[in-house]
A and B are shown apart, each in its own frame.
Chain A
Amino acid sequence: MKKHQPSDTGRRSFLKTTGHLMIGFNLLPLAFCQTKGATNEIPAYPGIPLRPHVDGKLVDSWIRLDAEGFLTVLSGKQELGQGIKIALIQIAAEELDISPDRCRIINSDTGQTANEGFTAGSNSVEGSGKAIRNAAAEARRYLLAMAAEKWSTSPDSLSVTNGTIKSPKGDEISYWKLLEGKHLEGTVTGTAPTKAPRDYRYVGQSLQRDDIRKMALGEPHFVHDLRMPGMLHARVLHPPSYHAKLESLAPTAVESMPGVVKVIRDGSFLAVVAEREYQAVKAREMLKSLAVWSEVPLRPLPRELAESMTTSLGKVEEVQMSPGIAETIKSSTISLQAEYFRPYHMHASMGPSCAIALWEEELLSVWTATQGVYPIRATLADLFSLDEEKIRCIGVPGSGCYGQNGADDVSGEAALIAKKLPGRPIRLQWMRESEHQWEPYGTAMAFRLAAGMDAEGKILAWDTTLWSDSHSTRPNGRAGSFVSARHLDTPFEFRKGGFSAGSYRNGIPEYSIPAKQLQLYNFAGPLRTSSLRGLGAYANTFAMESFLDELIHRAGKDPIEFRLENLEDPRARAVLEKLAEKADWKSRQKTALNGFGIAYSRYKNSTSYFAALAEVDIDKANQTYRLKKLTGVIDSGLVINPDGLRNQCEGGMIQSASWSMLEEVRYDGNGIISENWSSYPILRMMDVPEVEVHLIDRPDTPPMGAGEAAMGPVAAAIANAIFDATGSRIRDLPLKAEKIAWNTL
């Protein structure tokens, strides 16, 4: 055991980490996690000394007890508005028996936390949660052994109440007194016993998120709110379209504007830095009026896109083959084929992406809302040919991202700009049009589905062919993943990764079908794409569960009964049964003016189970429909925080309704037309449906990520409800009222 570092890690202190001097780094992470002031019972959180992360195997990498009276949890996962902070705190508090109000958490900081890759794929609770649970259990075992030795008794005889260990004889000592300022230096062996779910006190409770209070009071929370001494404001002027090149620019008129410190031009990368934020905004406008670009038209155009996808065969990826399936389908009593389509969708974060970068003596620090501080550090290292150890990336919450929005790009750009102005923190925020036009979208996808069913309504074969661009072009250690690195005078090449699994996520039905086949064609589309909530699962589930509804309709069956008959997994059946019960499915009031749609999926075919019901009302006179209500049932295993889980599901359901009913990125040969909220409308308060969520808690099964589970089922449920109401099957998203055959009603 080492002696404690001096606890005076004041905000102005200089810190030595990983062999070089870091100035003022403690300022923001500490200021930001110091959320509660002193109260009668709990003193103000003093923060913890900054120690560089060494190894995820150490207890100390996840669990720190060096702030007297407080447990500090360290996680490599970022808070994105999904409530991960409180969930991870609950897990740690539980194993160590410390009241959660004595717990704080530090997220995503290459100077302090473990490398946990990206905060993505709904796996933070599964991944980080498991690591933290094991580390906390290890810490508890270690602390109890220490106390037992001190009192010459058995650890099994000891109990813990809010961080104080007690013996049957009446001895008492707190964790902190016991440690006397030493580190928890053990390793996480994975053998320390964890609590039985029946003994949980904090896990399973709807504890409130501390950050909601801060935000409701207008306290600093977002990367956008950071202010540093000497900070300058930057704006980037992106090219008018993806392949445009800057031909000429006479910057003098911009350089002479009030407050302008610097105009940066490197190839087609253009930026301006000013003393005040609004001066930077004005200077960018001037740059825009002066820059002369040569453009390369975008192709294929939207009207050619679906056909262009399904006719560009290329090399097929045979994900699952079933020889003779075409014959089976052809010879079935009922044989169906249909094509489905999903357009490009936008993350459309409400707050345009923002980052702050600071260069000091060849050391770079970036305050970033990235989903992966380590991957972006590796990518910055490539961009600047710099040793990774000379870069520190500190995660700070941004506006909700739902995948890869502009947060990574803006971080790379802030670092490029700050390089030209060493010693000055550079705050770069994107303008609305940059976020809308330059973020990497959720890709367009096309599906050709075919199935055969016998006379009794048993599906015999299901054949899927799909076309998709990449769902993952995140920072991966190659600078070309930053969009502006491709625009530099010496450009970095962009290479798409080989991650095609995102494209066929949820592409193979879970239903009991003797023959299943799936083939994927990777399509290089005209627009920039990367991960959007659920990746391919959203559109795969939309297509699959809509097509299944077509088959069910042909078979004349009930959509819930049919699914129950064809699903073997009892947990899958349970979410549908609960949905039927809660929504009073059998006595639903079907009229000529409404419709009910059901859909189901198990996310990734391996995590959370989700069943959805959509109810729509139609208005024949105005040829429109209204999404009245969405009901969802989720089983995501052990529930850590029921209200947090509900919140995630409600949000996913409403967001999916917005994507599915309204959204498509519009573009033409000259570039992206969807540049703001009027050219890319999303669901607003007046049109948001009522939402109702029911949970199935399974305390004896592992917790599973839930943030993405609702997306696909909700899309299909709405399409199926529209069919139920109107007889129109809309196979290409979005589900616009004008696609309904009103004249046949």
Chain B
Amino acid sequence: MSQSITLRVNSQRRTFSADPEEPLLYILREEFGINGAKYGCGLHQCGACMVLADSKAEPTCLRPCGSFEEIEITTLEGLAKDGGLHPVQQAFIDVQAAQCGYCLNGMIISAAALLESNPHPSESEIRAALNPVICRCGTHSRFVKAVKLASEKPNPGL
């Protein structure tokens, strides 16, 4: 059952007591007050719950929190650095890439991970990187546009 778990979220280290089998998503929302990662399916099918785990986009609604110990977790809230927005966040705002916005966390996190490993992706690479994230409003074309825009800016700098 409950045991002591230490996680590093947005550069802050915290130790708390939880069931290590509890998926990371619930811990982020309840222990860390995170809004970015959201419950969408509980099945790793939709991407609403994405975070950056050691710079890779990972779903969190199933994967146990215990398996994230020793991993640097960055949520949507942690992307902005030194008072400046992450280029992907800024591009999403500039392009007005949202309708309801429920998918935005997954889209932005996936795009940030992509640019970290591939700063100048092709359109098909962008589409492949965002494919795990569902968007029901049909805002896809704007997401592609926003990621292209972000990739044209120097140094995404996570």
Binding site for B on A (CB under 8 A): 80-83, 206, 208-209, 211-213, 215-222, 224-225, 227, 258, 276-278, 281, 347-352, 397-400, 402, 429, 431-432, 643-644, 647-648, 650-655, 657-658, 676-678, 682-686, 688, 690-691
Contacts and interface: CB of A to CB of B under 8 A. Distances in A.
Interface in B29-79: 29-30, 33-36, 38-43, 45-46, 48, 75-77
Taking residues whose C-beta sits less than 8 angstroms from the other chain, chain B's interface range is 35 or more
Nearest to A224: B38
A224 B39 CA distance: 9
A351 B102 contact: yes
A218 B36 contact: yes
17 contacts: A83-B99, A208-B93, A212-B97, A216-B108, A350-B48, A352-B40, A400-B136, A644-B96, A650-B141, A651-B138, A651-B139, A654-B139, A676-B41, A684-B134, A685-B127, A685-B140, A685-B143
B104 interface: yes
B23 A278 contact: yes
B42 A211 contact: no
Contacts of B89: 216-217
Contacts of B92: 212, 216
B5 interface: no
Nearest to A214: B101
Given A216-B89, A685-B127, 16 more contacts: A209-B98, A215-B101, A218-B35, A277-B26, A278-B19, A278-B22, A281-B26, A349-B102, A350-B134, A429-B39, A432-B41, A644-B96, A655-B138, A657-B138, A685-B133, A688-B140
The 8 closest A-B pairs by CB, nearest first: A654-B138, A81-B100, A400-B100, A218-B36, A218-B76, A215-B101, A651-B138, A278-B26
A52 to B, nearest CB: 29
Contacts of B45: 676-678
Nearest to A258: B1
B115 interface: no
Contacts of A217: 76-77, 80, 85, 89
Contact of B101 (A212, A276, A691): A212
A276 B80 CA distance: 29
Contacts of B138: 650-655, 657-658, 683, 688
Given A432-B42, A682-B134, A685-B140, A350 B93 contact: no
A225 B35 contact: yes
Nearest to B140: A688
B158 interface: no
Contacts of A429: 39
A686 to B, nearest CB: 5
B43 A676 contact: yes
A655 B137 contact: yes
Contacts of A277: 26, 29-30
A374 to B, nearest CB: 22
A399 B102 contact: yes
Contacts of A225: 35
B30 A276 contact: yes
B77 A218 contact: yes
Contacts of A351: 38-40, 48, 102
A654 B131 contact: no
B105 A647 contact: no
Interface of B: 1-2, 19, 22-23, 26, 29-30, 33-36, 38-43, 45-46, 48, 75-77, 80, 85, 89, 92-93, 96-105, 108, 127-128, 130-131, 133-144
A685 B144 CA distance: 9
Nearest to A348: B136
Contacts of A213: 93
Contacts of B130: 685
Contacts of B19: 278
A350 B135 contact: yes
B98 A216 contact: yes
B35 to A, nearest CB: 5
B139 A647 contact: yes
A82 B137 CA distance: 9
Given A225-B35, A278-B23, A678-B45, A397 B140 contact: no
Contact of B39 (A220, A348, A352): A352
Nearest to A83: B99
Nearest to B106: A350
| Most chain B beta carbons < 10 A, residue from A83, A212, A222 | A212
Contacts of A432: 40-43
Contact of A82 (B34, B46, B99, B135): B99
Nearest to B94: A208
| Most chain A beta carbons < 10 A, residue from B45, B80, B101 | B101
Given A216-B104, A351-B48, A677-B45, A686 B141 contact: no
Contacts of A682: 134, 136
Nearest to B1: A258
A655 B134 CA distance: 12
Nearest to B78: A218
A217 B83 CA distance: 12
Nearest to B141: A691
A348 B40 CA distance: 11
Contacts of A431: 42
| Most chain A beta carbons < 10 A, residue from B30, B40, B100 | B100
B41 A677 contact: yes
Given A215-B104, A216-B108, A218-B105, A685 B42 contact: no
Contact of B40 (A347, A350, A650, A688): A350
A684 B110 CA distance: 14
Nearest to A641: B96
Contact of B96 (A212, A281, A683): A212
A622 to B, nearest CB: 18
Contact of B98 (A81, A220, A653): A81
A211 to B, nearest CB: 7
Contacts of B22: 278
A275 to B, nearest CB: 10
A655 B99 CA distance: 12
A272 to B, nearest CB: 15
A647 B142 contact: yes
A350 B136 contact: yes
Given A352-B39, A397-B100, A212 B137 contact: no
A288 to B, nearest CB: 13
A718 B148 CA distance: 28
A280 to B, nearest CB: 10
Nearest to A81: B100
Contacts of A206: 96
A93 B2 CA distance: 55
B103 A350 contact: yes
Contacts of A349: 102, 136
Contact of A400 (B43, B93, B99, B133): B99
A655 B100 contact: no
Nearest to A648: B99
A89 B134 CA distance: 30
A216 B19 CA distance: 31
Contacts of B29: 277
Contact of B100 (A219, A276, A399): A399
B137 A400 contact: yes
B96 to A, nearest CB: 6
B42 A647 contact: no
A663 to B, nearest CB: 11
A473 B134 CA distance: 27
Contacts of B142: 647, 650
